[in-house]
Structure 1
Amino acid sequence: MGALGAATPRDWLRPGLFALVLGASALLGSGTWSPRWFHRLEDLMADLRWRLGPSAGQSAHVAVIEIDEASLDVVGPWPWPREVVAGLAGELFTRHGARLVALDMVFPEPRDAAADAALLTLARRHRMVFSQAFYLTPAAVRTGHPGGALPASAEPSTAAGLAGVPAATGHLGNFFAAAPGDCVGHITPQVDADGVVRRIAPVIGYAGQQYPMLAAAALLCARPGLPAALPWPALAPLMAAAREADGFVPIPWRHASAGFPVFSAVDVLARRVPAQALAGRYVLVGASALGLSDHVVSPHDPRLPGVMAHAEMLDWLLAEAVAPSPRLMLPWLGWAWTIATVLGLAWLSRGGNLLAAYGALTGMAGLWLLVLLGLPPGAAGRAAVLPVVAVLMLLVLQAPAEWALARAQARQFQRRFRRYLPPAVMEAVLRERGYEAMLPMRRTLTVLFADMEGYTALAETMAPERLVKVTEIVLEALTAQIHAAGGTVDKYIGDAVMAFWNAPLDQPDHADRGLACACAILSGMPALNARLQAVCPWLAPVRICIGLHSGDAVVGEIGSPLRKSYTAIGDTVNIASRLQDLCKAVSADLLVGEGTAALAQRHVLEPVGRARLRGRSRAEQIYAVRGRPCPQPFDLSEPAVA
C-alpha cells in the first residue's frame, strides 16, 4: 500500500504477477502444461548437473579400444577385413584377459565367408557382443538381421514390469541370423532437438520382440562356463527405476574425458599394450577417428566418440548392481523452493529496491542449483526446474511490466506536476520517487502564503481585462521566485499564491529555502512595480504581504474521484495563511511563525510580537527576518485577530 493507505498500481501489479507465476509453475510442475521450452530447460539443467557435479573418476571395470586415425593409417581405411576385427578381439581375450568385448559397430553385409565364420566362432566361444541399430522414425530401412532378442520369459512386459518400451520401425542388423545365445545389443541413442545425446532406450520393441541396449546385452551375455554378469531379474529393476515416462533412461555422464582407460586399436594389434592390461575388464571397441563420423554431442563434450555413451551406461549399471543409488524422492522440495522464491521476492519488492530484490532472486536460483547438485539424480522430479522457471518468469515478466508502469506513471506525473514544480525538480522527483510522490503522506513542510495588498479595491476600479494582466504579471513573478528556491506551487487564490517546501522531494533546509524565497520576492518588488507601471502607468506601487510557517501537514493528491489536486492540508497551512493576513494588521510585509524560526539555520530571526491567530487557542510568537524592515513591536494576544 502507498502512504496513508492509498493503493498504488504496483500494489495490484505485483501480486497479480506473483499469482501468475505461481499458477504457471503449478501447471508446469503437474504436467498439465508441458511446453517444449520446459523440456529444453530440463535438459539444460541435467547438462549443468553433469558438468558441475563431481566426476566418478576413472572406471575400474570398463575400458575402451578406439579405432583412431593412427589405427586407420596403419591397418587401412574402414571397414576393416573381418579377420582383422577377429584378431583384435582375440588379442583382447587371450593376451589381455578381457572379461567381455563389445563391438560398437555393425556388420550388415557378409564379406569373406571364412573371416565371417571366424568372427562368429570367436563370439560364440567368448563373451563378445555385437551391435545393431534401430530406427525410431517413420521413414526407416531394414538391413541385415536383428538379433539378441530377450527370451519371452525375460521380456519387460512379463518379467520386470517395464511396459511401454519405445517401438522401432526399422533396423540395421548384422550379416548373420542370430542363434539363441548370441549376444547383440542396440546402439540407438536418443538425439534431442539440440543435437545432444542425453538418453537411450534400455529396451526397444520391434516386430513383436524386445531388444536390449548394448550395455544391458553385455551384462546379460553368457557362454558355457561363463555366466552372465547380471541376470535379467537383477538387471531389469535397475533400468526400471531409472526409466522415464517415455521408456528412455538418462545416460549418466558421470565421467570426464579421461573417465575410462583408452587404448588405440593399432597398439593392441602391435602388442604395444602390456599383457593383461585389460584383465577382468569389460572392453568396448569403437571408432574415434573424425572421418568415421561416429561421434555424439554430450553435456561434457561437443564431439565425443559414440562408444563413450555405451561405456557410461555399462559402468553405471555395474555400479548400481553393487551399490544402488539411493532412490530419494523429494518432489515437494522444488515446490517449496518455488513458493519461497516468489513470496521472498514479493516481500523484498515492498521496499521498492528492485535491484536488491532481483539480486536476491538470482541468489535463490543459484542456491537451488547447489542443492540439486547435492541430491541424487531425479530426486526432485519434474519440480527440479520449477524454481529456475519461476525466477526466469519473474525476470522476464516483472521487469518489463515495472518499466512500462514506471513510464506510464512518469507521463502521468509530468502532466499533473507540470503545474506545480519547476522542470529540474520534476525530473528529480521522477528519478527518486515517481508515482509515490503523489500519494497523500504526512511530512514536515514550510508553507508560504503571498498576497497582493489592496487587490479587492483594485478590482473595483480596474477593467477585468486589465486586472487579469496585472494579476498574471504578479503571479508570474512570485512563481519564478518560488521555483528558483525549489518550492512547489500549491495553488493560486485570486491574487495570492500558496507554496511549500520539503515535498515532493526531501529538502532538509526547507525552512531556509522558504525564507530565502520570501526575501527574494520582497527584494524584487521594485522591479515588479516597474514592470506593472509599464502596463498600467496610473497604477500605484503594489505591496506584497507574506506569511511563512513550518510544521507537519498531509501533502499529496487530495480531492474527489472527479477532481484531485496536489496540495497540503493541516494546521501548518492555516497558520501560514493567518500570518499573511496578520501582515496587514501590523503593517508588515513578512511575518514568520515559531516552526520556521525553530528550523532556520542560515537566517537570523528576531521576535516582533505575539498574537493569537484566528482559530487558535493560544498566542503565537511572531518573528521577522533580521536585516529587513520590521514592524513595530506588538502584542495581540487578546483578543484573537486575523
Structure 2
Amino acid sequence: MGAEPETERLRVIGSRLARSSLSLTRYVAKAGPGLITALLLLILQLLQPPFVAGISDLVFDTYQRAYPRPYEDAGVRVVDIDDESIRRLGQWPWPRTDAARLTDALTNAGAAAIAFDIVFSEPDRTSPARAVEILRQNPEARGDYSEIAALTDHDELLGQAMERGPTVTGYFLTGEANNVRPKEHAGVAVSGSSPLGVFTEYNGAIVSLPMIGDRASGAGSVSLEAGRDHIIRSVPLIANLDGRIVPSLSLEALRVAQGAGAILVRSTDGSGESGRRGLPEVVAVKTGELQIPTTGIGELSMYYTAPHPERIVPAWRILQGDLSEGEMQRLFQGQIVFIGTGAQGLRDLRSTPINAVELGVVIHAQAAEQMILGRFLTRPDWAVGVERTLMVVLCLLIALSAPALGALRGGVLAMLALGGVLAGSWFAFRNSGLLLEPIFPALGVVSVYIAITAVSFYREERARSHIHNAFDRYLSPELVDRIARDPGQLELGGEVRQMTVLFSDVRGFSRISERFGPQELIGFLINLLTPMTDVLLARKATIDKYIGDAVLAFWNAPLDDPDHEQNAAYAALEMLETLKRLNADSDRDPAWPGQVAIGIGLNTGPCCVGNMGSRQRLSYSLIGDTVNLASRLESLTKYYGVSILVGEDLAAQLASFALVELDIIRVVGRDAPERVFSLAGPPEMATTSAFIASQTRMAAMLAAYRSRDWAGAEAELAHLRGPDTIAGLESVLAIYSRRIADYREAPPPDDWDGISQALEK
C-alpha cells in the first residue's frame, strides 16, 4: 500500500512534464513562422538588393523635404547668368571679355574664390582676329582691318583676369578616352592606402583652354552623377581620372578660398577602419581647416536647403554696374562665388530631394555651404550593424511575444515597435544628421507580425472547420505561458577614477602644413610625436589618441598610479626639454620646420574611463569635465603666451613645483571659474630666490589688480619686468598692462570679481 502514493505522485509529475513539453512545442510552432520570416529578412539584409537602397533613398528624401537644412549665410554666393542677363547683354555665349569683366569685378570686390560652373573649352569666336576673318569674307569689306586683328585675343584677356583673381575653372569628366587633362594646381595626398579601386575611372576630360585654365588658381570637376531616378543625393568631392585623384569644383573652391596646399584624402585603413568591399574606401577629405566626412567612394551626402534667393545675384547687375562699390563688397567680400547659367536653353537643370528643377551651380554652392558649416548627413560605419541588430531583436520580440499576446495586443506591440523605429530614424536625422535606415527593422516588425497573424488565422480557420465537421468533439486550445526575453544589449562604459589629463598641441601647425608636402608633414609629425610619446610612456602615461598634431594622454588608469599628478607635471616639463633638443638640432635636419613650439594643458579630477564606442568598435578612453578643461587650458596657453597651463585642483597637488598663478578665468562651455597656473619648472626651480621673488610679486600684482588698486598693480608689473623675473611671463604681463589701461579708461562695474572670460575654446 505504501508504494501506491509514491507511484501516483510520479504519475502526476510525468503528466505535468508531458503537458509542459506539449505546450512548449505548440508555442514554438506558433512562433516558427515569425522566426523563419526573421531569418529570411536577415539574409535579404545581408544581400542588400538594389530595391532596398531605392526605398531608403525615398525615406531620406522625405526627411529632407520635411526638414530641409536651415539656410545660414556660409559665405557662399551664386552669380546666375539668367534670362534677364541674356536679354540685357546679348545671346550666349558671351564674348570672353564679359567673363573677364565679371571676374575682375568680383576680384576687386574681395571675393575669396571665384568658381566657374562653365567650361571655356572652345576659342571665343568674337575675338578680334576671328572677327576680322569673318569681316574680310564680306564682299563689301573695305581694308584689311589689321588694327582690329592686332587687338588682344579675348581668351587671353580672360586668362589675364583669371590670373589676377582667386579663380577656379570647371571641367567635365568623360568615359571617352582623350589626352586632354586639367592642370594640377595642388596635390592630393592619401592617408592610408589609395582608394582608387572603389571609384569609377574616367579616361577623358573636357577642360578650358590652357590660356584660361592654366592661369586660374585651381580647377575642379563639375560632373554630377544622378541616381537611377535622376535625383542627385550626393556630390563627388574627388574622382579617378586615369589613376589620378582630382577634386570637385566645390572642394577646389574651398581650397583656393583658404589658400590651402594639398588636399588630404583619408582612407579606411589610414583611419584604423576596414573597407566594406574588401578595398580601401574613403572616410574623409580635408582641405585647409575643413575636414569633410564622405561616403566610401568619396561623395558628400547632400543636405539641401529650401530655395533661398539670398544666395543668388543675377550677372547683369554686376556687369551693368547696377551694384555700387559698397554693395559689391557687402555681397562678395570674403565670399566663395560660383558662376553658372540659369537662362532658358542654357540651364544645367538637375533634380534634388527638395527641388525637382534645380540649377547645377546651386548644387555646387550648397555642397560648399555644407562643408563650411559642418552640416553633414553621414552614414557611420556602425549603422549597418545597429540596423541589423535592431531588426533581429525586434523580429525575435514580435515572434516570441505575439503568439502569447494574441492578435490585438500583439498588433499594439508591433505598432509601438514600428513607431519607435521610424521615430528613432527621424530623430537621428533631425538632430544629428545620421542616416539610419528604418527599412529592415520596420519591415521585420511588420513582416513577422503579419506572418504570425496569418498563420495563426489559418490555423484557427482550420480548427473552426474541424469543429464544424465534428461538433460532437471539441478540443479546447492549450494555454501557453508568456516568455519574457531580455535582448541583452551590450552595455558600454567604464568606471569613475581620479585622473590627471594632459592635452598637447603644436603651435602654428597650419603654417607648418603649408610649408611641407603631405609626406614631409607626416615625417615631421613622426619625428615630433615619437620622442614625446617616449617621454609620456616613461612617466607612466596612457596615450589615449593622436588628433593630427595633438596628443591626449592620462594617468591613473588602467593601472593605479598614486603619483599621477607629479608624473604628469614631470612629463610636461620633459616634453618641453625634448622639444628644445629637437629645435637645437633643426639646422642639421631639413625635415624640421625651424623653431617648433607646443602648448600643454594639465588638469586633474574625476573621469569616466573604460571601453567606449560602439558595439562594432571599442576603444579604451575617458570622458568628463576634467578632460574638457584640460583641452581648454591647452588652448589658453596661446593667449597667455606660456607653454604649460595647470588647473586649480592639480596645482593644489603640485605644491613643490614652480607654479605661478596667472588668472581666474571662466572658459567657454563651463560656468564655474577656474584659477589657472603656469608650470614654470620642477621642484628644484621652486626653491630658487629668483623664482620665489617673481612668484611673490606676481601674487602681489594679482591681489592689487583684483582689489582695483591699479597703481599698485602697475608698480608690481614694473618690478616683474626686471632682469631677474622668470622667463615666459612676458605675454601675461602685457595682458595685465592692457587690462589695467582699459580699466583706468572704463572702470569695471561694482560687482566685478576679477574673473576673466575666455572668448574662444
**Given the two structures, how large is their TM-score scaled by the length of structure 2?**
0.47
Q: Deviations over 1:557-601 (max 9, x none)?
A: xxxxxxxxxxxxxxxxxxxxxxxxxxxxxxxxxxxxxxxxxxxxx
Alignment-derived partner of residue 54 in structure 2 = 40
Q: What is the alpha-carbon distance in structure 2 between the residues aligned to residue 49 and residue 10 of structure 1?
A: 40
C-alpha displacement of 1:129: 1.1
Letter in 2 for 1:170: G
Match for residue 173 of structure 2 among 130, 134, 151 = 134
The question of whether the paired residues in 1 share the 8 Å contact of 2:103 and 2:165 is answered with no
Q: Deviations over 1:187-217 (max 9, x none)?
A: 1122111111122322222234332100122
| Correspondence 1:362 to 2:418 | yes
Q: What is the alpha-carbon distance in structure 2 between the residues aligned to residue 358 and residue 399 of structure 1?
A: 10
Alignment-derived partner of residue 35 in structure 2 = 18
The question of whether the paired residues in 1 share the 8 Å contact of 2:173 and 2:202 is answered with yes
Q: Deviations over 1:125-147 (max 9, x none)?
A: 111111111125xxx365x9431
C-alpha displacement of 1:63: 0.8
SS at match of 2:111: coil
| Correspondence 1:90 to 2:104 | yes
C-alpha displacement of 1:327: 10
The question of whether the paired residues in 1 share the 8 Å contact of 2:80 and 2:342 is answered with yes
The question of whether the paired residues in 2 share the 8 Å contact of 1:157 and 1:163 is answered with no
Alignment-derived partner of residue 285 in structure 2 = 238
| Correspondence 1:296 to 2:343 | no
Alignment-derived partner of residue 633 in structure 1 = none
5+ unaligned residues in a row in structure 2: which ranges?
1-18, 128-152, 267-283, 481-761
Letter in 2 for 1:242: P
Q: What are the equivalent positions in structure 2 for 1:84-483 lying under 5 Å apart?
A: 84-94=98-108, 96-112=109-125, 113=127, 114-136=153-175, 140=176, 142=178, 145-149=180-184, 154-157=187-190, 163-164=196-197, 165-176=199-210, 178-179=213-214, 182-221=217-256, 228-232=258-262, 238-239=285-286, 242-245=293-296, 247-258=297-308, 261-273=311-323, 274-276=327-329, 277-320=331-374, 330-331=382-383, 333-346=386-399, 347-348=401-402, 350-352=404-406, 353=408, 354-373=410-429, 376-378=432-434, 384-385=436-437, 387-396=438-447, 398-399=449-450, 402-403=453-454, 406-407=457-458, 409-420=460-471, 438-439=476-477
Q: What is the alpha-carbon distance in structure 1 between the residues aligned to residue 230 and residue 78 of structure 2?
A: 24
Residues 231 and 21 of structure 1: is their aligned pair in 2 closer, same or farther, counting only changes over 3 Å?
farther
Q: What is the alpha-carbon distance in structure 2 between the residues aligned to residue 388 and residue 259 of structure 1?
A: 35
C-alpha displacement of 1:349: 5.0
Alignment-derived partner of residue 556 in structure 1 = none
Letter in 2 for 1:84: D
SS at match of 1:191: coil
The question of whether the paired residues in 2 share the 8 Å contact of 1:149 and 1:209 is answered with no
Q: What are the equivalent positions in structure 2 for 1:469-618 lying under 5 Å apart?
A: none
Q: What is the alpha-carbon distance in structure 2 between the residues aligned to residue 98 and residue 437 of structure 1?
A: 86
The question of whether the paired residues in 2 share the 8 Å contact of 1:58 and 1:259 is answered with no
Letter in 2 for 1:116: D
Structure 1 vs Structure 2 CA RMSD: 3.8
Q: What is the alpha-carbon distance in structure 1 between the residues aligned to residue 463 and residue 163 of structure 2?
A: 85
Residues 438 and 86 of structure 1: is their aligned pair in 2 closer, same or farther, counting only changes over 3 Å?
farther
Q: Deviations over 1:149-178 (max 9, x none)?
A: 365xx3344799554443113322223365
SS at match of 1:130: strand
Q: What is the alpha-carbon distance in structure 1 between the residues aligned to residue 394 and residue 302 of structure 2?
A: 30
Q: What is the alpha-carbon distance in structure 1 between the residues aligned to residue 299 and residue 477 of structure 2?
A: 58
SS at match of 1:221: helix
Residues 289 and 350 of structure 1: is their aligned pair in 2 closer, same or farther, counting only changes over 3 Å?
farther
Q: What is the alpha-carbon distance in structure 2 between the residues aligned to residue 241 and residue 184 of structure 1?
A: 19
The question of whether the paired residues in 1 share the 8 Å contact of 2:294 and 2:301 is answered with no
Letter in 2 for 1:238: V
Alignment-derived partner of residue 510 in structure 1 = none
Residues 110 and 168 of structure 1: is their aligned pair in 2 closer, same or farther, counting only changes over 3 Å?
same
The question of whether the paired residues in 1 share the 8 Å contact of 2:303 and 2:370 is answered with no
Letter in 2 for 1:297: S
Residues 308 and 377 of structure 1: is their aligned pair in 2 closer, same or farther, counting only changes over 3 Å?
same
5+ unaligned residues in a row in structure 1: which ranges?
223-227, 422-435, 443-642
Q: What is the alpha-carbon distance in structure 1 between the residues aligned to residue 232 and residue 475 of structure 2?
A: 56
Q: What is the alpha-carbon distance in structure 2 between the residues aligned to residue 394 and residue 325 of structure 1?
A: 26
**Given the two structures, how large is their TM-score scaled by the length of structure 1?**
0.55
Q: Deviations over 1:362-407 (max 9, x none)?
A: 31222222342256445x7xxx22x431322443464266336524
The question of whether the paired residues in 1 share the 8 Å contact of 2:300 and 2:367 is answered with no
Alignment-derived partner of residue 746 in structure 2 = none
C-alpha displacement of 1:297: 1.1
Residues 78 and 302 of structure 1: is their aligned pair in 2 closer, same or farther, counting only changes over 3 Å?
same
SS at match of 1:406: helix
C-alpha displacement of 1:81: 2.2
Q: What is the alpha-carbon distance in structure 2 between the residues aligned to residue 325 and residue 440 of structure 1?
A: 52
Q: What is the alpha-carbon distance in structure 1 between the residues aligned to residue 77 and residue 442 of structure 2?
A: 42
The question of whether the paired residues in 1 share the 8 Å contact of 2:115 and 2:168 is answered with yes
Larger radius of gyration: 1
Q: Deviations over 1:413-435 (max 9, x none)?
A: 224324429xxxxxxxxxxxxxx
Letter in 1 for 2:335: R
